[in-house]
A and B are shown apart, each in its own frame.
Chain A
């Protein structure tokens, strides 16, 4: 599903140049659930941004579902993001003046789907994350866990190839974190490929494979025994 070869990325800040990614090689098969670990500054967020087409690599190749991702202009990047990817962020990134339902429906709006179909589909995904009765509430009326569930529904609604989660439990307490992870595991069980960036070991243990990043290189890439989040709930 995802194939990355010899990926390099540097950031330039004035005269200083920071080499963040120093040759990453990495493959993800369909249906995998991978966590990317590393301390801050290890380059894990940069890697996720490149995978998410929010940023572009300096060198190396990136193939997503057999489509080479290169020379992206903003228009194509926007199209690919909409088609291929679903994002889950640490701070949820919901639009605060839109209801849960409208937030979920937003990717479909940019797909050009009509309102009726959008609403039906969004309701379906809100039901999936267990928030059907909260559909007309604003994000400010929801708890952290509920917000993240709305964000997950939004990430899923356009049926993307890959789900990218950047510290999905970073802003949640332990109990809520496990609930959210249980939901994400369920999505993976249904066959969706998922990448999770985290620095928490217990969260990483809930995936099927852990990639450890340090100073811009992969130091460890191993398949692990998945811990079911439901065991903790």
Chain B
């Protein structure tokens, strides 16, 4: 293997048969290249999806209600299920040890908000302080709704960055009064939301204030919680699923809804959603691997095939070499070493080329679902060595055949 003379012989053979060497190398290099690109993009998709889920706390459970579809205990279908402070308190009390952040919301989808001469239509949400963490809202200036705001039903508002730009331009909004349905609210903070402009064109006020201003009494629109995180993802999914179900059946009992009425009380569990998406991503990755491995197998079979043709083409040469005293093992060694050298060299070339392309093009990709496509270098290197091994195996059959060539047959004049 480290015989210098042998290497000289091989380099000479390869350099004098450039087209053949090039074609053999090309099939391997493109195989590795495609694998690297596929792996890179599957990583990119994984990164993209992960960052999508980072926008909201991924372990969120939210409850929404609508009209009943089934008659139950003498009540007619079509009745609106109205969540109240009371039902929220019941849920919170029952599941308290499992919950991290909790919030109930009363919202108005479009309310006119004005400041000076500027005005616009914005979503108005009455919330609890924890909502900041559930929605992943970042406070830019000022503060979020706090506990005493809620207790004292203060007329304060936290506005989104988009709203601030619309209404205040370059002015600082803090401690300014805005008018919501003709009621003055003092702005105490500005928030940013990773969800973008849509999430930032709304304002938060204390829920107690909202209920009072919009004459809602004890009604709330929805409630949302986050779960305390578990180390194990599957365990976390199971737990949040169990709790979602617990909340659902509790609320159905309180509001007298048939247990099998699926649309009246809906409990969404983002972790479950996340798991679905992750398993989709895993499937995509598996498919990519499958395609990549398939490509490599095709490349290796190609190498084996080309080596077979080479042996066929070189039958006479091998016969001559044997007549001049070449040992069978030296013929096997020659063919094998050539195969391994070509696969390794072109494999590394394809790897570097693929990695380079990912490095170059990766950061340019602006797509919500593909982010930073990259390849674990160790995995890539492992595939190259696997490829070399496969190349050796692919080269062995032709090499063995070459060793079996009888000089007398090879040298026979046609």
Interface residues of A (CB under 8 A from B): 49, 52, 54-55, 74-75, 78-79, 81-83, 87, 89-91, 93-95, 97-98, 102, 106-107, 109-111, 114-115, 154, 158
Q: How far is the CA of A111 from the CA of B319 in the complex (A)?
A: 17
Are B411 and A93 in contact, CB atoms less than 8 angstroms apart? yes
Are B327 and A81 in contact, CB atoms less than 8 angstroms apart? no
Apart from A75-B327, A81-B322, A93-B316, 13 more pairs, CB < 8 Å: A54-B408, A54-B411, A78-B326, A78-B327, A81-B323, A81-B325, A82-B325, A83-B325, A87-B324, A95-B317, A97-B17, A102-B12, A110-B324
Q: List 4 A-B pairs, minimum CB-CB distance, nearest first.
A: A82-B325, A97-B16, A54-B408, A110-B325
Closest CB in chain A relative to B262 CB, distance in Å: 77
Contacts of B320 on A, CB cut-off 8 Å? Answer: 93-95, 106
Given the interface contacts A95-B317, A114-B5, A115-B5, does A87 sit within 8 Å of B323 by beta carbon? yes
Instruction: Find residues 1-50 in chain B having any chain A CB closer than 8 Å to their own CB.
Output: 5, 8-9, 12-13, 16-17
The 9 listed contacts between A and B (C-beta, < 8 Å) are A78-B322, A78-B325, A78-B326, A81-B325, A90-B413, A95-B317, A98-B16, A110-B325, A115-B8
Are B411 and A82 in contact, CB atoms less than 8 angstroms apart? no
Q: How far is the CA of A81 from the CA of B13 in the complex (A)?
A: 24
Contacts of B317 on A, CB cut-off 8 Å? Answer: 95
Q: How far is the CA of A111 from the CA of B330 in the complex (A)?
A: 12
Q: State the total of A-B contacts with C-beta under 8 angstroms.
A: 67
Are A54 and B5 in contact, CB atoms less than 8 angstroms apart? no
Interface residues of B (CB under 8 A from A): 5, 8-9, 12-13, 16-17, 316-317, 319-330, 406-408, 411, 413
Are B5 and A111 in contact, CB atoms less than 8 angstroms apart? no
Are B413 and A82 in contact, CB atoms less than 8 angstroms apart? no
**B414 and chain A: residue at smallest CB distance:** A91
Contacts of A54 on B, CB cut-off 8 Å? Answer: 323, 406-408, 411
Contacts of B321 on A, CB cut-off 8 Å? Answer: 95, 106, 110
**A96 and chain B: residue at smallest CB distance:** B317
Closest CB in chain A relative to B350 CB, distance in Å: 27
Q: How far is the CA of A165 from the CA of B16 in the complex (A)?
A: 29
Are A82 and B324 in contact, CB atoms less than 8 angstroms apart? yes
Other-chain residue from B5, B8, B9, B324 in contact with A81 (beta carbon distance below 8 A): B324
Contacts of A90 on B, CB cut-off 8 Å? Answer: 413
Are B408 and A49 in contact, CB atoms less than 8 angstroms apart? yes
Q: How far is the CA of A54 from the CA of B325 in the complex (A)?
A: 11
Other-chain residue from A55, A95, A114, A154 in contact with B408 (beta carbon distance below 8 A): A55
Are A111 and B325 in contact, CB atoms less than 8 angstroms apart? yes
Contacts of A81 on B, CB cut-off 8 Å? Answer: 322-325
Most chain B CB neighbours (cut-off 10 Å) among A78, A89, A90, A109: A78
Given the interface contacts A54-B408, A81-B325, does A109 sit within 8 Å of B9 by beta carbon? yes
Q: How far is the CA of A32 from the CA of B281 in the complex (A)?
A: 82
Q: How far is the CA of A129 from the CA of B413 in the complex (A)?
A: 25
Given the interface contacts A91-B413, A93-B320, A114-B5, does A107 sit within 8 Å of B325 by beta carbon? yes
Closest CB in chain B relative to A103 CB, distance in Å: 9
Q: How far is the CA of A93 from the CA of B323 in the complex (A)?
A: 10
Contacts of A91 on B, CB cut-off 8 Å? Answer: 413
Q: How far is the CA of A82 from the CA of B326 in the complex (A)?
A: 8
Contacts of A107 on B, CB cut-off 8 Å? Answer: 324-325
**A170 and chain B: residue at smallest CB distance:** B413
Contacts of B13 on A, CB cut-off 8 Å? Answer: 97
Contacts of B326 on A, CB cut-off 8 Å? Answer: 78, 110
Most chain B CB neighbours (cut-off 10 Å) among A49, A54, A114: A54
Closest CB in chain A relative to B19 CB, distance in Å: 12
Are A110 and B408 in contact, CB atoms less than 8 angstroms apart? no
Are B324 and A106 in contact, CB atoms less than 8 angstroms apart? yes
Closest CB in chain B relative to A33 CB, distance in Å: 21
Contacts of A93 on B, CB cut-off 8 Å? Answer: 316, 319-320, 323, 411
Q: How far is the CA of A89 from the CA of B407 in the complex (A)?
A: 12
Contacts of A79 on B, CB cut-off 8 Å? Answer: 325, 327
Most chain A CB neighbours (cut-off 10 Å) among B8, B317, B320, B325: B325
**A158 and chain B: residue at smallest CB distance:** B325
**A97 and chain B: residue at smallest CB distance:** B16
Contacts of B319 on A, CB cut-off 8 Å? Answer: 93
Closest CB in chain A relative to B173 CB, distance in Å: 81
Q: How far is the CA of A110 from the CA of B407 in the complex (A)?
A: 15
Contacts of B316 on A, CB cut-off 8 Å? Answer: 93
